[in-house]
Structure formats: structure tokens, C-alpha cells
Amino acid sequence: EHTIFLKDYAPTPYSVVAVDMDFKITEAGTRVRTQMTIEPRPETEPGTPLVLDGDGLTLQSIAIDGAPLMMVAYTTDDDGLTVVEPPFRRFVLETEVNLTPETNTKLMGLYRSSGTWCTQCEPEGFRRITYYLDRPDILAPFKVRITAPRDIAPVLLSNGNLIDKGEAGDGMHFALWEDPFPKPAYLFALVAGDLGSITDTFTTSSGRKVDLAIYCTHGKEAECLYAMDSLKRSMAWDEKRFGREYDLDVFNIVAVSDFNFGAMENKGLNIFNDKLVFALPETASDANYANIERVIAHEYFHNWTGNRITCRDWFQLCLKEGLTVYRDQEFSSDERSRPVQRIHDVENLRITQFPEDGGPLAHPPRPDRYREINNFYTTTVYQKGSEVVRMLATLLGEAGFRKGMDLYFERHDGEATTIEAFLKVFEDATGTDLSQFSRWYLNAGTPAVTASDSYDAASQTYTLTLTQKTAPTPNQPDKPPFVIPVKFGLIGPNGSPMGWTAVAGGTVKDDLIVLDGDSVTLTFTGVANRPVPSLLRGFSAPVKLSTNLTQQDLLFLARHDSDPFNRWDALQTVATQLMAAAATGSQPASADVDALRQAIMDTLGDPALDHAFKAQVIAMPDETVIARQIGRDVDPSAVAEARHALIRAIVGPVAERVEALHAELQVIEPYSPGAAQAGRRSLRNGLLSLLTAGSDRGAALAEAQYHAASNMTDRYAALAISAHNWTKAAPALLGDFRTRFGGDPLVFDKWLVASSQAPDDAVIERLRAILAAPDFPRTNPNRLRALLGSFVMSNPAQFARADGLGFRFVTEAAAEIDKVNPQVAARVLTGFRILPLLEAGRREAGRAALEALRNQHTLSRNTGDIIDRILAG
């Protein structure tokens, strides 16, 4: 099937000067009339055909400058419309199509969600609305007229500013929107429906008053207040941190229930998955609140990084996504705790991106080919893309990075540009050569960095050697060395930082080593004692670090490192190593377990550390992280068992103290989603998790907490912990939760997630029954992802069962979902990327399930592409 290559990029022969659209919406269907003012580019030859994209459209009429086109003057097919010989001057092309948004289950283009008409155009949805040059380097100002029945659609929204509205006869009304900022079609949006709203205002630093509104289903208005608060804080932060002001008179957000992604940054009209807007303490957890804040910020920040400056082509996706994730992570760090945010983001990277980068779906943050662009909205483009920007900031320093960003906004405002242009602004602003650095964008794979050290007491010399190596990835057999910023410190025997008088052998500036060759050996002189090195502080590069540090050294770092990230990481490394060893047959020595327990208890007792950080320290490594540590021939059941056994060994002797701490930490003040209270709850629930997995006391405690909880954070934690450990009470608690909240779809998702995490052998049967129930909303992406996505990604022992039942359950479900919504099906199937990691029997069972799916069904390009890449890997 057709592969698109970056090397084939060429501008279109025609540009679009302006777009006027007219939507007539009725229950019977939607008529779309589009007038595009088009002109040939200076280099275009006369007679060059105009080729417009279209997907599933049927042309009703076509005219140029008002004159209908003869049949011979144009052709249409499945991929679009061609005007054979357009005028060789500026002209207006008018087309008309009829859409049936009611039957659009792919949720791309114009569709209906709970009766509301809404759109999703990124990346290639606009061509499902009208014939167009649907690519991000075509920028034009849009005027959009919407006419619809007033009773079913009193709210009519599009991008930009509202310039007119009124009656349109026969119970119809209209609104006219104008977006003065030239934009690519993927940022187009339209909403029409009967919606409630909350409103507010924000005054920008230059005094412009912006009207803010969040639209939602009637009755949900109070649940939008936290989102509104997050929006105002985001707007203020972008002014302060990046000097970026909002540019229109209005900023609207709409929450919809059926959405393929988290949210969409359409110019002036962000559309959100409602799970990232609605929050009340009784129905949303602290994690939900933090996510809402983050995604509201992310979409708002796109106004500058994505909208004002957009991508030249979809290969450049991480130009806007990686950068915008970096910006939202920085926002969350400033609003909450920086170290806690960093740990959270790195954990997420290791659990989601490292497996992608080390498996058959690996691709560079800036890929050079794709078959289906929707399959490249990945954790590599988003999260690794952010890490690459973060490394730039580390290498250039805060001031240098800001200078580069200022130049980026100044030089490229209003353009569709590239990763190369992005790197160039930093080169020009700081005089740094970033040609080797650009490899981070162009190469896939997680570099393995190895550190080894030695100390010579006689000469007071400390030697540190760092090497890097990156394994081959699909289409990229050889990896050149990356520029790896390694932040570091040396710690003396009493736990305080150690200095040196001189260093030779490589580039060291303050606390930064730059590893840019295959290896570097640094010699530090004037080092009074043997230090313990703290390397990759703050996770200064997205690499896998292995060191020759002993467990004792690591636990020393866990106690003494001034870098909170490395304190956390040292302890996690010890736990991961012990669990990986146990899963492959070497039971940990009891002295090692005792030492780890002691370090955990000391951390818990340290009054200088905050609750949220302690919660992260005591959270035991995820099963996927342990599996990666093992590296090959993994038996996920053995991993789950080893993990469980180590938790029992750690907690057993201290269960009473842990239980007392759990009791002590109860929050009695009224609920607030802020970091302080949320941190306290996360520690308390982390303790509950340890107790439930690691002692006989936990199950009853979890049951009691479930019933006594006054907020969703505590209730859901108790439910999820009970389900995950499949306690005696778990089935009854799941039953109670379902009846208690069954009517709220977003809470129903929580029930689905908790249900999918059960470790018992009957879990697949139960999930099958849930999915097969006639009233299961099988067209809603949130429901499907809650059930299948979390099963595939977070229940590896059952998903990768030796008998293949887990694999077949998922492929059979995916075959059905693919007919309705290929994007959702494809994403669920990415869970099969773990196959190469598994022991042979499971690997073959997984492959057989995928092959059966591939051979027995006619699949979408989305799922076909994912399966083929996994099977080839």
C-alpha cells in the first residue's frame, strides 16, 4: 500500500487566498458550500491541474467565478476532485456537497455527538467536509456561515470572532464567524447544538479583554469551573514565561462525549473530550483534575506553538506537539511541584515511550515515511519530542533557550515550518552548532548509556567513563552517536556534594557533561574521597542509564542526593533490579530486601520531603518497567508474581507502622484538588496499595476506605487496589461502584478500567460479557479505550496469557471496532508491540492472533499498518 515519504515533499502548484464556507445544517443532513479563492504560484506552468483532496464526498455542484463547470472540465474519485485546466489567474472555485454527519462513526470530519454537530479535522478530516488542499502548508483566512434550526441548535460556533448573527426564516437562525488569522484546514472547527455554558473574561498583558466560554451538555456547567480556572492560569503563564499573548476577542471551549483524542486546538474554538473538562470531587479523581489542567494548558499553548506557527507537513508533527508538551510540562511544574512533575513525566515516558522506541513500532520523533498519519500521534512524537526540547533548554541554558524561542516566534509567525527551521533559531540566537543534536529528531531508539567509575585514593583522582550505544530500529540499522547532556554531581561519604580541582578528558561545564561521541572518560583531580556519582540528574536525557553502582551506593543516593529525581530513581532502580532478578529465578537476599525496606521507611519518615514525593518513592515499579529490565523471553506472570512477592517481603515486617501512617494521613478538610491535599491523598493511597498487596491487613482497609470515602480519589483508589489485588471484597465493590455511578459515563469508564485490571483467570470472560452486552456503547472511544486500552497496556499477565486467550479477545474485538472507528481499533492493537519481549510461546500466540486478524478481515489502513509493522518487527 501507498507510503508517503518526506523526501517527496513539494509545495502545491496553487495557493488558497481565502475561504468562505456556508453550512446549512438540518436533521436530514448538512449542505456545505465552499468558495475558495485560489491562485497559481509564480512558478506554476499554465494548464497545471488543480488537485483537491476529498474523502467520502459526493459533489453536488461546481463552478468557477460563478459559472458552472462542464463535466469534461473536472474529475472526481475516492481521493478527491481534479479541475483539469483551471484559469491561469486568481479565481473563485465554488463546490457544494451534502454530508450525513449522523452516520459518521469514524469521528473525523463533521459528526454528531449526543445530538451536537461537531468537527475534528486534524490531521485529514477537513477533506471529509469539503474538497480542499487539505495539508498544513495551505494557510488561509476563513469566513464561516452556519445556518441551523434554532430549537435544536441554539449555539452556533466556529473559529475566530463572531461578526454577525440573526434569523434565517422557518425556525432557522444563522451565525457568521470570521477568523482573520490564516490557518491550515486542520484547525477548522464548527459546533452546532443545544449546549449550556459558563463564561468569564481574561485581560491580556496589553489590556485586551477576551471573552472566555466553556460549552457543555446542560446541567454540567458546574463541572466546567476547574477547566475555566485552568484556562485563565494558562493564559497568564504563557504571557509570563514565554511572552505570548492571546490574539482574538473570544476563546471558546466545547466539551463533547465522542472524541478520538484528548482535545483539539482549533483556532479560537478548542474542542475537548468531556473527560478532560468535567470535574467534581465526587466523580473526578485528583489525577483527573491534574490532567484537565494540563490538557487545557496544552491546547491553549498551541495557539502559538501550532496555530500561529504551524507544521509544513505532517512529518513535522513534533514541531508543534513535542514543543507544546514541553510547555505544558513546564506549566504543570510551575503550578505544582517541579520534582514531582518531573518524576511523573519520566515515569510516563518509561512506561509508554521506551517500549514503543524499543519495539517494532519505533520511529524517529520526526519520521521520514508513513502509510497512515493517524498512527503517528504517538508517545514518541509527543513525549520524546518534549524531551528533545528539554535537552535543548538544558544545553543552551534558560536564557539561551528563551532567546531562541523569542526568535522562533518573531521569525516564523504566520508560517508553516520545519524542525530544521526550529533548530536554526537556536543556532542563530546562541551561536551553537546543532547539526549533531538534530539526530535526536531524525533517529529512533533509546540510547543505552553505560557509566563506570573508579577512584584512586593515592592520587585523589576519580575517573568516570560514559559510553553510548543505540540498538537498530525499523529502517535504521546504524545509529550515530547522539549529543547527550548528562547533568551530574559527586557526593562525598558524609552525603554532601564534593568538588574537584580540575577535570580533563571531555566537555564538562558546571554540572553538565556532554557525551557526544561513542564514549568519554573524564578524570577529576583533587577529589578527597571516593565519591558516589549522581548521574543524569533530573533525567537530563531520554536514555537508559546503567551504572556499576552497588545496591548500597544506590540506597546512599536515595538518602543523600540533593537531586530529588535521582533520589527517587535510585530507589526505583534497586526495586526494579530485585524484581527482575526474582522473575528470572534469583531470589533476592534478605539483607538486600531489608536495606530497601529501611530506605523506604527512612524516606517515609523524613519530615523535609513532601507527601507527593514520598508517594512516588513508595510506588513500586510498573510491570512493564520490570519486563524491560529483563529485556527478553519475559513471562509476564512471573513478573507479576515477583513484584508481588517483593512487596510482601518489604511490607510484611512493617505493616503495622504503614497502617498507622495510612490512618494518620486522612484528610479531614473539605476537598480541594490542589497539589498539597492531592499529595497527601496520593501518599495515603500509595500506602494502602502496599498494604493490600503486601499484607493481610490491606484488603479490609481498602474495603473500609471504599465505603467511607467522601471523594472519588479515595473511593476509586480503594476500588482499583482491591480489583488489582483481586481481594475477596473486589467483586462486591465493583458491583457497588457500578450501581452507585452507573449513570455517569465518565465514572463508568473508571469501573471499566478497574475491571480490566483484575489478575484472575476469569477476567477475560467478564470483559467479553461487558463488551457483548447489548447496551454497551460500542461507538464511544472513551468506553472502548477504558475497557480494552487499559487491559492491553496495564494487564500484561492476562493480555499475554500463555494460552493466547488475551490476544484473541483483543483481536476479535478490534475486528469489530475497526468497522466503526479505525483509529480506536489501531490504537488498541499497538499493545501488541510487546511481542518481541515475550518468551517464545506467548510471542507465537500473539503473532497467530494478529495474523488471523490480518487474514480473515478487510481492515482499515489504520489497523493494517499497525499489524504489518508489528509482524515485520
Residues of the shown chain interacting with ligand HT7 in the complex, contacts defined by CB under 6 A = 120, 122, 260-261, 263-265, 298-299, 302, 321, 374, 377, 823
* DSSP secondary structure code for residue 198 in this structure: E
Q: 261 is in the binding site of which of Zn ion, ligand HT7, none (Cβ under 5 to 8 A by kind)?
A: ligand HT7
> Least distance from C-beta 792 to ligand HT7, angstroms?
19
Sequence-distant (≥ 6) Cβ neighbours of residue 606 within 8 angstroms: 614
Cell numbers given for 519: 564514549
> Least distance from C-beta 186 to ligand HT7, angstroms?
8
Q: Which residue is nearest to ligand HT7 (CB)?
A: 261
Q: 267 is in the binding site of which of Zn ion, ligand HT7, none (Cβ under 5 to 8 A by kind)?
A: none
> Least distance from C-beta 302 to Zn ion, angstroms?
6
Q: Is 299 a catalytic residue?
A: yes
- Minimum CB distance to Zn ion smaller for 303 or for 551: 303
Cell numbers given for 453: 567509575
> Least distance from C-beta 52 to ligand HT7, angstroms?
21
Q: 377 is in the binding site of which of Zn ion, ligand HT7, none (Cβ under 5 to 8 A by kind)?
A: ligand HT7
Count of C-beta atoms within a 10 Å radius of residue 769: 10
Count of C-beta atoms within a 10 Å radius of residue 586: 11
- Rounded to whole angstroms, the Cα distance separating 141 from 442 reads 33
- Minimum CB distance to ligand HT7 smaller for 782 or for 823: 823
- Residue holding cell 520526526? 366
- Minimum CB distance to ligand HT7 smaller for 264 or for 747: 264
- Rounded to whole angstroms, the Cα distance separating 126 from 618 reads 47
Cα separations (Å) of 833 from 626, 723, 765, 837? 16, 26, 23, 9
- Minimum CB distance to ligand HT7 smaller for 273 or for 577: 273
Burial of 555 (0-12, 13-18, 19+ CB in 10 A): buried
Q: What is the three-state SS of 316-378? A: HHHHHHHHHHHHHHHHHHHHCCHHHHHHHHHHHHHHHHHHHHCCCCCCCCCCCEECCHHHHCC
Q: Residue 712: which H helix or E strand, with range?
A: helix 712-724
- Minimum CB distance to Zn ion smaller for 321 or for 453: 321
* Contact in structure between 796 and 624 (CB atoms under 8 Å): yes
> Least distance from C-beta 331 to Zn ion, angstroms?
13
Which candidate, 242, 202, 198, places its Cα nearest to that of 220? 198
Cross-strand bridge partners of residue 94: 35, 63
- Minimum CB distance to ligand HT7 smaller for 386 or for 711: 386
**Catalytic residue, candidates 122, 299, 623, 659:** 299
Count of C-beta atoms within a 10 Å radius of residue 437: 21
How many residues lie near Zn ion (CB under 5 A)?
A: 2
Q: 390 is in the binding site of which of Zn ion, ligand HT7, none (Cβ under 5 to 8 A by kind)?
A: none
> Least distance from C-beta 321 to Zn ion, angstroms?
5
Q: Are strands 250-256 and 269-273 parallel, antiparallel or unpaired?
A: parallel
- Minimum CB distance to Zn ion smaller for 258 or for 321: 321
- Minimum CB distance to Zn ion smaller for 307 or for 337: 307
**483 φ/ψ angles, rounded to the nearest 5 degrees:** -85, 110
Cα separations (Å) of 309 from 82, 183, 210, 409, 814? 29, 9, 21, 8, 37
> Least distance from C-beta 324 to Zn ion, angstroms?
5
Q: Residue 700: which H helix or E strand, with range?
A: helix 698-708
Which candidate, 397, 610, 382, places its Cα nearest to that of 509? 397
> Least distance from C-beta 683 to ligand HT7, angstroms?
31
Cα atoms in the Cβ-side hemisphere of radius 13 Å centred on 82: 12
Q: 715 is in the binding site of which of Zn ion, ligand HT7, none (Cβ under 5 to 8 A by kind)?
A: none
Stretch 308-337 residues interacting with Zn ion (CB under 5 A): 321, 324
Q: 264 is in the binding site of which of ligand HT7, Zn ion, none (Cβ under 5 to 8 A by kind)?
A: ligand HT7
Q: Are strands 116-120 and 190-193 parallel, antiparallel or unpaired?
A: antiparallel
Footprint on this chain of Zn ion (rule: CB under 5 A)? 321, 324
Catalytic residues: 299
